[in-house]
Amino acid sequence: MPRPFWILLTGSFINRFGSFVLPFLALYLRKEGYTLGQAGVAIGAYGAGGLLAGILGGYLADRIGRRNTIAYATLGSAVFVLTLYFARGLPWTIAAAFATGVFNGMYHPASSALLADIVPVSLRVRGYAGMRFAINAGFAFGMAAAGFMAKFSYLWLFVGDAATTAAFGVIAWLRLPHGLRTRKAEARWSPALESIRGNRRFIGVLCASFAIAVIFWQTSSTFALHVVDVGYSTSVFGLLMSLNGVMIIFLELPLTTITQRLRPRRVMALGYVILGAGLSLNAFSSSLAILILSMVVLTIGEMISLPVASAYVAKIAPDRMRGRYMGILGLSWTGATMLGPGFGMRLYALNPTLVWLACGALGVAAAGLLLLVSGNPVEEREGGLEASLATPPEPS
C-alpha cells in the first residue's frame, strides 16, 4: 500500500477512538432530563445534518480536494461536539446536534474517495477492509474506555471526542495528498445526479443501505437503552460495543479474502439478512448471553457485507464523480440516523420487542432489494469483486 494510505489509516484510528458521543447520546440526553421523544428528535437533528453533509461533502471532495475537505470537516466537528455538551434547552441542543452532524458527516465521502484515489485498483477491496480494521480497532478501544468514563462524567466523552477529531484534521492537513480534484463546472451536482439516476446497480445498493443503516443505528440508541433497562450498566454496553470492534479486528480481513471472490450482491444480501437477525434475537430474551450473541451475529453480518459494499460502489462510480457517489451513499446512512433512532425509540416506548422484530424484517427487505437489481454482465460472469475490479467503470 502507498504511504498516504497508512497516514489515512492512522488518522482514522485516532478519530474513531474518540467517537464517544453518538453511541452515548441517548443516555446522556435522558440523564439531562429529556424524554425519549425529545432525545429522538435531537438525534434525528444530528442525522438531518448528515443529509446536508453528504451533499456538501461529496461536492467539496470533488471540487477542493479530499484532503482539504477532511481537514475542514473534522476541525469543525470538534468545535460543535463541545458546543453540544454546553447547549442548554431543547432548541439549542437540536441546533448543536444538527451542526455536529453536518461537519462530522462531511469527511466520510472525502475519505472513501481518497482511498480509491491512492490505492491501486487490484488492492481496493483489501484497502477498504484495512480502513475498517483501523476504524473498528479505534472503536473497540474507545468504547471500552467510554463506558467507564460515562460512569464518572459525560464531560470527558465530549472533550475526548473533540480532541481526537481535531487531531485527525491536523494529520490530514499536514500529511495527506489532495486526491482527485475537478474544475468547478465538472463538480456540479446535476451531471452526477443524471449519472446516478441511470445507474440501477447503485440505486439498489443505496436503498438497501438505508434499510441496513436503520438497523445499525439502533445499536447507538434503542440497544443502549435496552441494555441499561434490563439491569446492566453503561460499562456493559461499552464492552458489548467493543466486542463488535474486537471481532472485526481479528476476523474481518481473513473473511474478506473469501468474500471478495464471490458475487458481490449475493454476499451483501447474505450479510444484510444476518445483520438484521442479530438484533432480532433481543426479542426473545434479555439475558446477558443473548445480548452477547446478538452482538456476535450482528457483527458477522457486518463483516460479510460492508467491506464488499464500499468496494462495489467505488467500482461502479465514474472516477471524477466518486466523491459525489460516496456522498449520496452516505445519505442513506445519515438519513437513517435522522429517522432510525426516532422511529426505533417510538417503537421501543410502545414495546421493545417491536424494535427487534422490525430489525429482522428490514434485513430481509434489504437483501431482497439487492437481488432484484440486475447486475453487471462482467460481474455475473467473472464472479467476485477481486475479478470485476480489474475492469474500468462503465461510462454513464
Domains parsed from the chain with CATH numbers:
8-388 (1.20.1250.20)
DSSP 20: -
Low-confidence ranges of the chain (pLDDT < 50): 377-382, 387-396
Give the per-residue pLDDT at 380: 45
Q: Would you give the distance in Å from CA 136 to the centre of its chain?
A: 11
Please report the pLDDT score of residue 366 as a whole number. 92
Q: State residue 361's pLDDT score.
A: 93
- Residue pair 337/43 in contact by the 8 Å Cβ criterion: yes
Q: Is 10 exposed, middle or buried (0-12, 13-18, 19+ CB in 10 A)?
A: middle
Report pLDDT for 337.
Answer: 67
First to last CA, the chain: 29
Residue type present at position 53: A
Of residues 190, 186, 165, 177, the one with CA closest to residue 55: 190
By three-state DSSP, how is residue 393 classified?
A: coil
Backbone angles phi, psi at 180, to 5 degrees: -65, 140
Cell of 24: 452515548
Q: What is the DSSP letter of 394?
A: P
List Cα–Cα distances, 191 to 95, 184, 194, 265, in angstroms.
32, 12, 5, 26
pLDDT of residue 374: 56
Determine the pLDDT at residue 396: 31
What confidence tens digit (pLDDT) does each residue in 80-106 have?
A: 988 888 888 888 988 988 998 888 888
